[in-house]
Amino acid sequence: MLSGHEAAEQEGRMGDAFPMIKVAAVQAAPVFLDREASVAKACRLIAEAGAHEARLVVFPEAWLLGYPVWLDISPGAALWDHPPAKEVFTRLVANAVEVPGPATEALASAAAQAGCALVMGINERERGRPSGTLYNSIVTFGPDGSLLGRHRKLIPTYTERLVWGRGDGSTLDVYDTPLGRIGGLVCWEHWMLLARHAMHATGEQMPCRSLARGQRPPPGRLPPLRLRGSLLRRRPRLGPPPRPDPGRPRDLPGRRYRPGHAPPRWRQRHHRPGRSLPCRTRWL
């Protein structure tokens, strides 16, 4: 196999040549809370993607048997000893995926037959513990069907904590494949600065972003790391903001104060522009 430089010389081009890889982002619903039917559907979708020459297939967050959407739309989801909530949670636990297990073996076989790498969002159950903790996880398979690893979402978001436990940093890995170094984070982990930094620092080349049920990123795209990092340089100030300098010319460019009024109040910043931080900082 020729290197990028050798291929460029033979074709008379300047610079190196880099491979083009077709990626399939699956936009399909699972068979809700039915593990076996969902696995069968996933295998069909993987085969279809492989037939269209995709070399990497990525499924959404918690795709395998479905995202627990009732947490957001059911008023009684968090009530103590609420029978409907207990019933649906029991079904979620019963259909959750063990890693490794029969479900992951079927996915690995489908990936190997299609000749593509696979990233799958699952509801994971601790292996060998039918009543153990559930996790919002992603599992990664190589093009040869090997199970490369899994990542458990570090901190479930808001109501997700009713059903999923916390992961830890031991699963922040990237995996070497013939396609490149594949990694992935789950949903709001992409707003965790240190989690993203860990993935960048390990040489992630193909980040697989996992979201569920039509969640949208902020307008445009995820902000670059340098913009996120700039928030760490905002120094919190204690006490009230200073009064305007009486000798400051009114027409001086910059902040403007109305006569007889204090400077703008303390503002709160978040990692998303226009939202609030848990700590108070002054926007300079």
Residue with tokens 């103590």: 80
How far apart CA 67 and CA 213 sit, in angstroms, is: 7
The one-letter code for the residue type at 108 is A
Distances in whole angstroms, Cα of residue 227 to Cα of each of 28, 197, 231: 33, 13, 7
Instruction: Verify whether residue 187 is a known catalytic residue.
Output: yes
Q: What is the three-state SS of 37-52? A: HHHHHHHHHHHHHHHC
The one-letter code for the residue type at 226 is R
Backbone CA torsion sign across 150, 151, 153, 154: positive
Angle among Cα 168, 141, 3 to the nearest 5 degrees reads 110
Instruction: Verify whether residue 87 is a known catalytic residue.
Output: no
Active-site residue (options: 124, 160, 187, 204) = 187
Active-site residue (options: 124, 153, 160, 204) = 153
CB 141 within 8 A of CB 148: yes
Q: What is the CA radius of gyration of the chain?
A: 24
Query: Looking at the annotation, which residues are catalytic?
Result: 61, 153, 187
